[in-house]
Chain A
Amino acid sequence: MLSAADMAAIWLTLKVASLATSILLLLGTPLAWWLARTEFRGKSICNALVALPLVLPPSVLGFYLLVLMGPNGAVGKLTTELGLGTLPFTFAGLVVASVLYSLPFVVQPLQTAFTAIGNAPLEAAATLRASPLDTFFTVVMPLSRSGFLTAAILGFTHTVGEFGVVLMVGGNIPERTRVVSVQIYNYVEASEYPQAHGLAGGLLVFSFLVLLLMYSTLKTNPVSPLK
């Protein structure tokens, strides 16, 4: 029932989402830790910046990214100088855009989990000879397990579900930037509803199952990305 083009779109979507989620966990963890611990005055500004993709129309985010990463944008000039070419309409560009787009969905659950842990276990670990880094891996991470699970699942599913940013930054290039949501859009544009149904239904079931897994694993309510 799924065409080769559909399979390619699904495969591409999974690749983008996995890569973006991995990068988000790597970058988002220290960022969330810093936001949870710092008493820096500009913290509100940082919090607002991280939350921005939650409220911004994806097309706005996509537009600015397109401009920034384009041949005349600051990032575009840098990547060109580094010999990487420009990022829009490439797989790499799509990943970068996804990372920014899904940032709050990863950072906020982590930040909430880190804040909830509080100072006490960290101080206990210090009095038991654990260095701060040691403490992070052996106390903070296990204690914020549900925060990490929530962050990973929300980051992944949210990236799978993106559309506006993809269309702006990635375009609609088969096997390179044509993800599932764009493929569905193509079908609808061409009035091929049965094919659209197949993919849309698949995405619906997939998202529901992942969220079901998350909620049943965590038992209690997972940390809300919206606080």
Chain B
Amino acid sequence: MTEIIAQFKLDYGAFSLDVDLRLPSSGITVLFGHSGSGKTTLLRCIAGLQHAPHGFLAINGTTWQDSDNKLFLPTHKRALGYVFQEANLFAHLTVLDNLCYGLTRIGQNAKTAQFEQVIELLGIAHLMARLPERLSGGERQRVAIARALVLNPDLLLMDEPLASLDAKRKQEILPFLTRLHGELNIPVLYVTHSQQEVAQLADYLVLLADGKVQAAGLLSETLSRIDLPQAQDRQAASVWQVTVIEHETAYHLTRVAFAGGELSLPAINAALGTALRIQIYARDVSITLEVSKATSILNVLPATISDIIDDEEGQSVVRLQVGSQTLLAHITRKSAQLLALQTGMMVYVQIKGTSILN
């Protein structure tokens, strides 16, 4: 029963939502889609802030909505945390009182280890006595996240928590979110339209379009679905989990290992054994049929083509298997034809660049 079952149907005329999802009850599940795709509506239905006339929702075996049996638990009776796009703090209460608002209602107070941990995690200990109007946008959002987390909810819902912040503030909060991921065992449903946040945070990815689920699955699986528009986008990328194994200080490089091979990355200040998430843009991957000694590209890896698709603009999207990792490559259709690429072929991939996500 450790899963989230979410089935909703609602119809607003111009917009309708029709989803049937089974989501893991651990890690971060990102609901991704463009505006109007229904991702926020879905999140609000899960919170009970919106009442979908037809719906079934169970969190780890606890039913929150079952419209067939006329069950609809109001929001305040659901063991959830919700972080809104705008921090939405209570303007008349100090930071501490904002944090305690929910706590007192579940019969707890601020004198717990969990509370201390959350405050420390989000770095807001020095803000306790302030009123929300005296906080910066980033601080406000951190307090809002803490306010939801201290309740130790069964499910944390986050609705584009970074969307209202500028790039600098985003970078201020993202590390907190990745830490949260590592240190607290609360399943998170995270709504965003930013591919960067998907790559950085998601374990599980749900792609929504026009109120329907296009794809849902583990991040690497979903990102490598080349039949989806995402894979054809210029920003298409693969996300790999790697481990630091060696620092080549003389070259300012760091060697990392993934399941089935190794890569060189620009030097990273991280201890050996550190787990990292890296992103490889499909446009930074090229394909050759043999290993050329005469190349400046360091990362050349053997790979097997598992699928090819042509888009309408002269581009071929190639999915490759590198060890046990999946990699997307964008090449011109002309190159694909000259090399006579086809599914099952053994080739070499050259990776021109990578970026580290955490």
Interface residues of A (CB under 8 A from B): 120-121, 123-132, 134, 138-139, 142-143, 145
**Inter-chain contacts of B91 with A (CB < 8 A):** 121, 143
**Count of A-B contacts with CB under 8 A?**
62
- Interface bits B61-82 vs A (CB < 8 Å: 1, else 0): 0000000000000111100111
Interface assignment of B176: CB less than 8 Å from any CB of chain A: no
Q: Which residues of B contact A143 (CB under 8 A)?
A: 90-92
Closest residue of chain B to A139 (Cβ to Cβ) is: B90
Give the chain A neighbours of B81 by CB distance below 8 A.
Answer: 127
Question: Chain A interface: which of B98-106, B194-202, B268-276?
Answer: B98-106
A143 to B91, CA, bound (A): 8
A-B contacts, 15 listed (Cβ < 8 Å)? A120-B84, A120-B88, A121-B90, A123-B49, A123-B75, A123-B88, A124-B89, A125-B76, A127-B49, A127-B102, A127-B148, A130-B76, A131-B74, A131-B76, A132-B76
Contact assessment for A129 and B88 in the assembled complex, using a CB-CB cutoff below 8 Å: no
- Complex interface: chain A residues within 8 A of B88 (CB): 120-121, 123-124
B residues in contact with A132, CB < 8 Å: 76
Partner of B84, one of A123, A130, A134, A145: A123
User: Which one of A120, A123, A128, A134 contacts B151 once the chains associate, using CB atoms below 8 Å?
Assistant: A128
Measured CB to CB, the nearest residue on chain A to B80 is A127
Q: How far is the CB of B106 from chain A (nearest CB, A)?
A: 6
Interface of A: prevailing SS: helix
Contact flag A125-B47 (CB < 8 Å), given A130-B76, A131-B76, A139-B90: no
Q: Which of A129, A131, A132, A138 lies at the interface centre, i.e. has the most chain B CB atoms within 10 A of its CB?
A: A129
Q: Given A139-B90, A142-B92, is A126 in contact with B76 using a C-beta cutoff of 8 Å?
A: yes
In the bound complex, residues from chain A placing their C-beta under 8 Å from that of B102 are 127-130
B246 at the interface (CB under 8 A from A): no
| Mask: chain B, 317-332; 1 = CB below 8 Å from A; 0 = not | 0000000000000000
How many angstroms from the CA of A124 to the CA of B132 in the assembled complex?
A: 14
B77: which A residues are within 8 A, CB to CB? 129
A-B contact sample (13 more), CB < 8 A, given A120-B86, A130-B76: A121-B90, A123-B82, A123-B88, A124-B90, A125-B90, A128-B76, A128-B102, A128-B105, A129-B76, A129-B77, A131-B74, A132-B76, A138-B101
A143 to B81, CA, bound (A): 23
Q: Could you tell me the distance in whole angstroms from the C-beta of A209 to the nearest C-beta in chain B?
A: 28
Q: Is there an interface contact between A129 and B90, defined as CB atoms closer than 8 Å?
A: no
| CB pair B84 A126 closer than 8 Å | no
A124 to B89, CA, bound (A): 8
